[in-house]
Each structure stands twice: as structure tokens, then as C-alpha cells.
Amino acid sequence: MKTIGLIGGMSWESTAIYYRLINEGVRERLGGLHSARLLMWSFDFAEIAERQHADDWAGATEMMVDAARRLEAGGAEALVICTNTMHKMADDVQAKVAIPIIHIADATAAAMKAGGVSHPLLLATRFTMEQDFYKGRLADRHGITPVVPDAAGRDEIHRIIYEELVRGVVTAPSKDIYLAEVARARANNPRIDGLIMGCTEITMLIGQGDFDVPVFDTTAIHAHAAVEFALSG
């Protein structure tokens, strides 16, 4: 079994889900008392969030590179960045380490292609919904054209992530807001044929049972890709 390095704590709420899913995946595949070989670097998310909202992506990249190098030095054979947003600097981090990064967008794209989805609605942080590092990768590398909510919708989705979900707060009113935003986006764009839960905390709030189109839980998909790598070869 290969050792996976997790870059987590962004937030720890979803990193805990990664830890559980990867270990469950290994146990399901190997049986008995097996669990995953994992190393973890867990950030103080306040330090990351401060840089995100200050548009200090260079500073955030330095922190991510440092974490990646520490995990590589510790024996990790691949890296999993346990957040969609911080894949903004995945290429910069990859350039500084010799071990591969298992990219969340690539894993999600593979799942969407298998499901025949080409125009998914992307729910995520404002950074992921509005910048090109994630949407552009889906389009350029995989031929998938993501759709995002309008400006008001993006504001509400982002607000709930940072004010509630990353703090472990899950409420029925916020779920209703997400459901309404999805319904409004689909009414405005009939081409939407799926939904990307493009922030790893969103899995705490909504899921496949809430919708009649395929839902792609990036946390679960990414964790599964980590298990596949760990048990390959």
C-alpha cells in the first residue's frame, strides 16, 4: 500500500470526512483490520482564510508548498489537497515536489464523463466559482462546461460556506437556500445536467437525495481516487 499525504485543515470539518472515507475505502477493499497509510498536515484555517480574502494567493502558495515538502520528506508517495479552492495553486505546488498530486478536478471530471454529464452547475466558494483555475481545467482538459449561479447566488453560497459549514454549523434554512439556488439556476439554464458540490464542506449540507440530476460529491470522489492510487500497482 502506498502512503498518501493529506494537506488538510481547510477546513478540518471536511478533512475529517476525507480521513474517514479513505480509511473506509481501504478497509472495504482489503478487509479485516486494514486501514490507510496516511500522513497529514493540518493547517490553522484562520491563517489560510485570511490570505484568501486578502487576495494574498502568493502567501497561501508558500504555505501549501511548505506543507507539501514536509509530507514528501515524511514519506508520502502522493498528495491530496483536501479542498477544492486551494487547488488554485496545485500546479505551483506540483512544480516544487517530485511526488504526484491527485487533482480533485480531474477525479471529478472522470466521474462526470462516466455519467454523461457535460454542463454541471458548480456550487463552491466564490473563488472557485468565479476564478478560472477550476472551471478552466474542467473545460480545457476534459471538455466539460460548468455553469455557476448568478452573483447574488454566488454570494449566498459563499457566505454559508465560510460563516457556517467550515465551523461545523449545518442548518435547515441554509439547506433551503442551496436548494432554491439550484432550482433557480436550472430554471435559468435548461442545459444544466448535473451538480458539482465543488466545496468539500457542501457534502455536510446537501446530497444526491435532494436532486433529480446526478450529484458529484467532490469529497467522496477525491477520497476514492486516493484509495485507488494507494492500492494500485
Among residues 186, 179, 195, the alpha carbon closest in space to that of 129 is found at 195
Among residues 101, 99, 85, the alpha carbon closest in space to that of 43 is found at 85
Among residues 8, 42, 7, 10, the alpha carbon closest in space to that of 166 is found at 10
Q: Which helix (H) or strand (E) holds 216?
A: strand 215-217
CA angle (168 as vertex; 166, 172 as ends), nearest 5: 105
Contact predicate 227/36, CB 8 Å: yes
HSE-up of 225 (CA within 13 Å, CB side)?
A: 24
The residues carrying an active-site annotation are 83, 199
Backbone torsion region of residue 131, taken as left when φ is above 0, otherwise alpha when ψ lies between -120 and 50, otherwise beta: beta
